[in-house]
Amino acid sequence: MKEHGYEITQEMYATMFEEHEDIKALFNHDNMVVHPGETKKKQPLLLAQAVHAYAENIDNLSLLESAVDRITKKHVSANVKPEHYGIVGRHLLNAVKKVLGEKAKPEICDAWEKAFNFLAELFIETENNLRKEEAAKKEVSNLGCRCTLG
């Protein structure tokens, strides 16, 4: 993933956005272009770096806790839904196969699929928890304080 990550994520976004306008709408389009002075698109680069960090730390995911928290907040604010993960996973694995070609052995693809599914479940759970927390805070603030002391 370190060597081909950017190319893989570029391919993933291209095919996914072509098929799913609803998912494309969740992204900041400014992050999908190469800006003057840069050589890569920000969103595919960030995803490639995140996937690489995940692969490097798969045996010690606590090192990724702050990144998971940050990404979770972005996903909740962008209204990412649990069903989006299956779509992203399918496009990511197809991109791995396309970019790596014959190097994408079944055991490699199976391992990436399992790793992606684990991470997707982690994000779905943390995002659902954050949504529940936000809903509870909103409910409390909507109630207001109707009591007096004394």
| Sign of the Cα pseudo-torsion (117, 122, 123, 129, in order) | positive
Q: Quick one: DSSP state of residue 133?
A: H
Q: Is 3 a catalytic residue?
A: no
54 is catalytic: no
Marked catalytic residue, from 121, 127, 133, 134? 127
Q: In sequence order, which ranges of 62-105 are alpha helices (DSSP H)? A: 65-78, 82-100
Catalytic residue among 85, 107, 121, 133: 85
Question: Residues 26, 13: contact at Cβ < 8 Å?
Answer: no
Q: Residue written as tokens 């990436």?
A: 112
Residue with token string 């389009």: 29
Report, in angstroms and rounded to the nearest whole number, the Rg of the chain calculated over CA atoms: 19
Q: H-helix or E-strand containing 50?
A: helix 42-56
The catalytic residues are: 85, 127
